Chain A
Amino acid sequence: MIVGLFAAGILLGIVFRHRLRLIRTASHASDVCVFFLLFILGVSIGRNETVIRNLASMGVAAALLTIGAVLGSLGLCYLIHRFFFAPRS
Chain B
Amino acid sequence: MTFSLCILGFFAAGIAAGLFGVVPEAWSADDLALIALYVLLVFVGMGVGSDSRSLSHILKVRGKVVLVPLGIAVGSLMGAGVVALFLPGLNFREGMAVGAGFGYYSLSSILISQMHSQDLGVIALLSNIIREVITLVGVSLFIRLGPLGPIASGGATAMDTTLPLISRYIPGEYTVIAVFSGLVLSLLVPLLIPMIL
> Interface residues, chain A, CB within 8 Å of chain B?
1-3, 5-17, 23, 26-27, 29-31, 33-48, 50-52, 54-55, 58-59, 61-82, 84-86
Chain A residue numbers with a CB within 8 Å of B39 are 29, 33
In the complex, whether B197 has a CB less than 8 A from a CB of chain A is no
Chain B nearest CB, measured from A64 CB (Å)? 5
Interface majority SS (helix, strand, loop, mixed), chain B: helix
- Measured CB to CB, the closest approach of chain B to A5, in angstroms, equals 4
Contact A42 B18 (CB under 8 A): yes
Q: Which parts of B6-55 form the interface with A (CB within 8 Å)?
A: 6-7, 10-21, 23, 29-30, 32-33, 36-52, 55
* Cross-interface CB contact of A37 among B13, B50, B52, B161, cutoff 8 Å: B161
Bound form: Cα–Cα A62–B83 in Å: 10
Interface centre among B55, B81, B83 (most CB of A within 10 A): B83
**Quick check: B126 and A72 within 8 Å, CB to CB?**
no
The DSSP consensus for interface residues of chain A is helix
Bound CA–CA A22/B34 (angstroms): 24
Chain A positions within 8 Å of B165 at CB level: 34
If the complex has contacts A68-B80, A69-B131, A73-B152, are A9 and B18 also in contact, measured as CB distance less than 8 A? no
Is B147 in contact with chain A by the CB < 8 A criterion? yes
Query: Known contacts being A2-B41, A3-B183, A70-B134, is A10 close to B55, with CB within 8 Å?
Result: yes
Contact present for B119 and A58 (CB under 8 Å): yes
Query: Nearest-CB distance from B21 to chain A (Å)?
Result: 8
Q: A17-B49, A36-B36 are in contact. Are A85 and B119 (CB under 8 A)?
A: no
Give chain A nearest CB distance to B165 CB in angstroms.
7
Is B84 an interface position by the 8 A CB rule?
yes
- Report whether A46 and B16 are in contact in the complex, using a CB–CB cutoff of 8 Å: yes
B72 close to A (CB within 8 Å) = yes
Can you sample 10 A-B contacts with CB below 8 Å? A7-B45, A33-B37, A34-B7, A47-B21, A51-B122, A69-B77, A70-B134, A73-B75, A78-B152, A85-B64
